[in-house]
Amino acid sequence: MPTRLPLVVRRCHTCASSRARADGKFRVNAHHKRIDAWLLVLCTVCGETAKLMVLERAPVRSVRPGLLNRLHANDTALTAEWLQDPAFGRRNHIALDWADAWCLDTNGSDHIDREVIDVSVRFAARIPVRPARLIARGCGLPRAEVGRLITAVRLVSAVRLGGTLCGDFTFTLQR
């Protein structure tokens, strides 16, 4: 599950840094019957503000009142929703850096002593993680050992454990 908002991977025009942080601030501007809204992000090095387009020249009547209220209230949950939206990322040419922005909740460690473990992994947010790294951290194993278990077919899953994914999956570990 996420512990904080991810960093935005975007080049700063002032200092050429590649990371910015979103603190949940929006800017809303209305032009007669049209409305624009931006998510503000701050460079992690120099603090320069950049704008990420949320709404562009949208008719005011087409914007739900609840969304408009959340924009005006600088809702942090709305910031998280927009940042995790793949279309928003493509439109603004950004990527997310989730390093140190998530934690693993294992619901206790009673499973470590068992010979065979069936585990269901659920993501609280769309956080791209390498399953082998997640399994290593959750089961208290070195990543090299997880790689050996995959090769020996003692760690199996319906999803490919060698890549990156951000959706729920299950696996079975046989010690």
Instruction: Tell whether the torsion through CA atoms of 73, 74, 80 and 85 is positive or negative.
Output: positive
With 0-12 CB in 10 A as exposed, 13-18 as middle and 19+ as buried, what is 30? exposed
**Are the C-beta atoms of 8 and 22 separated by less than 8 Å?**
yes
Note the pTM of the prediction, 2 decimals: 0.76
Window from 89-93, 114-118, 160-164 with minimum mean pLDDT: 114-118
CA distance 106 to 123: 12
74 is written with which tokens? 């600088």
Those residues whose C-beta lies under 8 Å from the C-beta of residue 32, and which sit 6 or more positions away, are none
Exposed, middle or buried, 9 (CB in 10 Å: 0-12/13-18/19+)?
middle
**pLDDT digit string, tens, across residues 119-161:** 888 888 888 888 888 888 888 889 899 889 888 888 888 888 8
The torsion of the CA quartet 59, 62, 68, 71, rounded to 10 degrees, works out to -70
> How many residues are there in the chain?
175
Q: How confident is the model at residue 109 (pLDDT cuts 50, 70, 90)?
A: low
- What are 25-69's pLDDT values in tens digits? 999 999 889 999 999 999 999 999 999 999 999 999 999 999 999
Q: CA dihedral defined by 74, 67, 94, 159, rounded to 10 degrees? A: 110
